[in-house]
Structure formats: C-alpha cells, structure tokens
C-alpha cells in the first residue's frame, strides 16, 4: 500500500497538543504543515509558540512515532517551527511568474540562494552543511559556489582536482559526499586573486550554472557572493531562484547588512525563506558556561522586524571550524551532534517551504499560512 497524505493525517489526528489535558489533536488545531512524501520518506513540520518549544518536543516525537508505524514508511522527519502566526506570502509580487519567466537550468528542479550581507559570517559553511542535510533528506543535491572572489566550497568539501570537459560541450562537475559541486576554486589556485570586474564575474557564474552537466538535481544550493552589489543583484535577476536563505551573526553590524540582503531579494521578487543565526551561542567546553559572543537573538529579532521567517540558529562550535578547514563538514562527520541536528532541522523546514511555494506557483495569490 502506498503512503498517502490522508493516511499520515489520520495517524497524526491521534496526537494531542497536550497529553495532560482534554485537548484537541494537532491536525484539528491546524498545527501540521504541508506533508511531503517522497517514496518511503515523510516530511512535515508542527508549528508552536517559541515558549512551548520544549513541551512540544514530546508532541514532535509522538508524531514521528505514529507516522513511522505506517507500513511502507521508513524515514520520518518532523521539525518544530516556532514562527509567528503571521501569514507569509511566498508568492509576493507574483513571484511564481518571475521564476517561470527566468530560463530554467537543465536537470535542476529547484535553486535556492544562501546569502549574507557581509563576509565571514559563515555563509559558505552553512551552505555546505545545509546541502548535506538536504542530501540526508533523500534529495539529489548540487552546490554552486558563486563566491568568485573567495571560493571556499572546494576546501569545505575537501575536493581537489579540476572538472573535465564532458563528451558534449558541458563541463563535468566534481562530487564529494554525493554532492555535485562547481566552483571557480576548481579552475584557479587558491592563492590566485580574482581581479575580474562585475560583468566578467557574472559571465563566469552564468557559465558555471548553465554550461555544467549537473545531471538530475532536486535542489541546487547557490553559495552567493557576500553583499548586495551589482553582481548579486544581476544574479538574483537572472537565475531562477525559488527562495533565498540569509545567514547572519547576531550582532548589529552584521544585521544591518543582512537587512540589505533581505530587501535586495524582496526588490527582485525572490521570497526570503528565512534567516539563520550563525555563531549564536558559545558553550565553553571546559566549564559549560554559555556565552553570546556576538550578541543574543539578534537575527531572530531582525526576522521578526523584517517580517521574514526565522529558521533557527547554529552555535559557535569549534568542531564546525575544524571540520571546515579539513574538508570534513560536521553534518557528514558528526551527524549526531547538536549542530548537525540543527542543520538537518533547518534543511527540513526549508524543503517544506519550497514544496509549499511550488504549489503557490500554480495558483497565484494564495497566501501561505506558516
């Protein structure tokens, strides 16, 4: 018997919002997001208030358990989303038409951009780990390193070597950890400074996107160049990006630039799928004391202020830095760590949003309630 949404919802209607009271179930209460089924894998989110997140962890586990009991289901990923109930219009300014108007890329179903207002906030590290988390969801994933001036994907994925020209005209990308990757870093030495002007950069990015044999890819993660200049704007206008993810550290200076990033994407009608706060907390490995080196919850507050979803936070974690330098990303090499779980949860949430927005493309003007 194949797994259906109806069956999943039926199972979920046995999960109460609060076991201790005579409460409604999570389906009745409207807390269950769009359900995505891919063969034997089921993905969905349960929404709750930020204050109830701990309490809802029990509900989340229970929901996972009941769906897993359905015959034919092998993997269940349930994430808790703690956004405001404010409606988010992923179809803002008729976004659907815009994506469709841009020339699609052979073999690639969806493209998301991972961007940041400034460099050094962990954008590339986040893009690579998210790509691995998307792969963990069972998706075929590619990553395009569009950070021409500071390509770091080769190092982060531990890829050495040069892409070959394929049998046809297209370039064969390289692969690591089952992720297909293309980067300027494959073509020039790490030490060689790129002194190209904007139009040359745009032409190089366009070639890396359109003249590469990506194969069949569910999701291409584009690691954008930092900032909001001409290159970023031209890219956003020409690449069929379904949504963007903004990475910021929590301090004011980074957030000012993150805000510029949000408004750039909004200007070119690309929905902002959400903000990720990177390096949010630091737990001292010796004494366990938690400190907020770059400030506290800045990105979360910014998300609220800008009216875009908050996707979650990633701590400042020594293992992330060490793994990045060694080309051994944490999601691959320490999948059980808190950080990897956070990346997985965020990827799950983004994938659900992408699937919801896909629906909206067919029926414009529907507002998606988170």
Using CB under 6 A, list all residues that contact ligand ADP.
116, 119-125, 152, 226, 278-279, 314, 316-317, 320-321, 324
Quick one: which of 174, 168, 246 has its CA closest to 208? 174
Residue with Cβ nearer ligand ADP (136 or 278): 278
Instruction: Report helix, strand or coil for 43.
Output: strand
Burial 205-227 (b: 16+ CB within 10 A, else e): beebbbebbbeebbbbbbbbbbb
Nearest approach, Cβ of 42 to ligand ADP (angstroms)? 29
Backbone angles phi, psi at 367, to 5 degrees: -100, 125
Residue with Cβ nearer ligand ADP (44 or 265): 265
Nearest approach, Cβ of 127 to ligand ADP (angstroms)? 8
Nearest approach, Cβ of 225 to ligand ADP (angstroms)? 9
- Strands 36-38 and 174-176 turn out to be unpaired
What span, in angstroms and rounded, lies between the C-alpha atoms of 31 and 167?
Answer: 50
Nearest approach, Cβ of 226 to ligand ADP (angstroms)? 6
Q: What is the DSSP letter of 367?
A: P
Nearest approach, Cβ of 34 to ligand ADP (angstroms)? 29
Whether 95 and 269 have beta carbons less than 8 Å apart is answered as yes
Residue with Cβ nearer ligand ADP (172 or 324): 324
Q: Residue with the closest Cβ to ligand ADP? A: 122
Residue with Cβ nearer ligand ADP (202 or 330): 330
Question: How remote is the C-alpha of 34 from its chain's centroid?
Answer: 17
Residue with Cβ nearer ligand ADP (64 or 145): 145
Quick one: which of 79, 80, 78, 61 has its CA closest to 19? 61
Nearest approach, Cβ of 219 to ligand ADP (angstroms)? 19
Residue with Cβ nearer ligand ADP (168 or 336): 336
Residue with Cβ nearer ligand ADP (119 or 307): 119
Residue with Cβ nearer ligand ADP (96 or 176): 176
Tokens of 172: 């064969």
- Strands 368-369 and 171-172 turn out to be unpaired
Nearest approach, Cβ of 60 to ligand ADP (angstroms)? 24
Which segments of the chain does DSSP mark as H helices, in order? 5-12, 53-68, 95-101, 123-136, 153-156, 198-210, 230-238, 252-267, 298-306, 318-326, 330-333, 338-362
Nearest approach, Cβ of 48 to ligand ADP (angstroms)? 25
């Amino acid at each position: 018997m194949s797994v259906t949404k109806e069956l999943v919802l039926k199972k979920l209607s046995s999960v109460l919002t609060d076991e201790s009271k005579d409460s409604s179930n999570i389906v009745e209460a409207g807390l269950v997001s769009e359900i995505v089924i891919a063969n034997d894998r089921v993905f969905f989110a349960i929404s709750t208030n930020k204050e109830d997140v701990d309490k809802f962890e029990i509900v989340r586990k229970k929901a996972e358990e009941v769906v897993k009991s359905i015959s034919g289901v092998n993997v269940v990923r349930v994430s808790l989303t703690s956004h405001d109930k404010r409606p988010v219009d992923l179809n803002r300014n008729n976004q659907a038409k815009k994506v469709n108007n841009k020339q699609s890329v052979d073999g690639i179903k969806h493209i998301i951009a991972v961007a940041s207002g400034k460099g050094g906030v962990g954008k590339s590290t986040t893009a690579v780990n998210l790509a691995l988390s998307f792969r963990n969801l069972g998706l075929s994933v590619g990553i395009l390193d569009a950070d021409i001036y500071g390509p770091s994907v080769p190092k982060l994925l531990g890829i050495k070597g040069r892409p070959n020209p394929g049998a046809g005209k297209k370039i064969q990308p390289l692969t690591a950890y089952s992720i297909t990757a293309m980067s300027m870093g494959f073509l020039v030495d790490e030490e060689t400074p790129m002194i190209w002007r904007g139009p040359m950069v745009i032409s190089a990015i366009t070639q890396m996107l359109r003249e590469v044999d990506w194969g069949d890819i569910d999701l291409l993660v584009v690691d954008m160049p930092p900032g909001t200049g001409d290159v970023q704007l031209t890219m956003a206008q020409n690449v069929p990006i379904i949504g963007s993810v903004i990475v910021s550290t929590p301090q004011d200076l980074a957030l000012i630039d993150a805000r510029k990033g949000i408004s750039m994407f909004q200007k070119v009608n690309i929905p902002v799928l959400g903000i990720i706060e990177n390096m949010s907390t630091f737990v001292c490995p010796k004494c366990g004391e938690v400190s907020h080196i770059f400030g506290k919850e800045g990105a979360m507050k910014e998300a609220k202020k800008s009216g875009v979803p908050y996707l979650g936070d990633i701590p400042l974690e020594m293992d992330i830095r060490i793994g990045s330098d060694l080309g051994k990303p944490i999601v691959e090499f320490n999948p059980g760590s808190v950080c990897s779980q956070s990346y997985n949860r965020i990827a799950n949430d983004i994938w659900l949003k992408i699937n919801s927005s896909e629906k909206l493309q067919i029926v414009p003007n529907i507002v998606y309630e988170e």
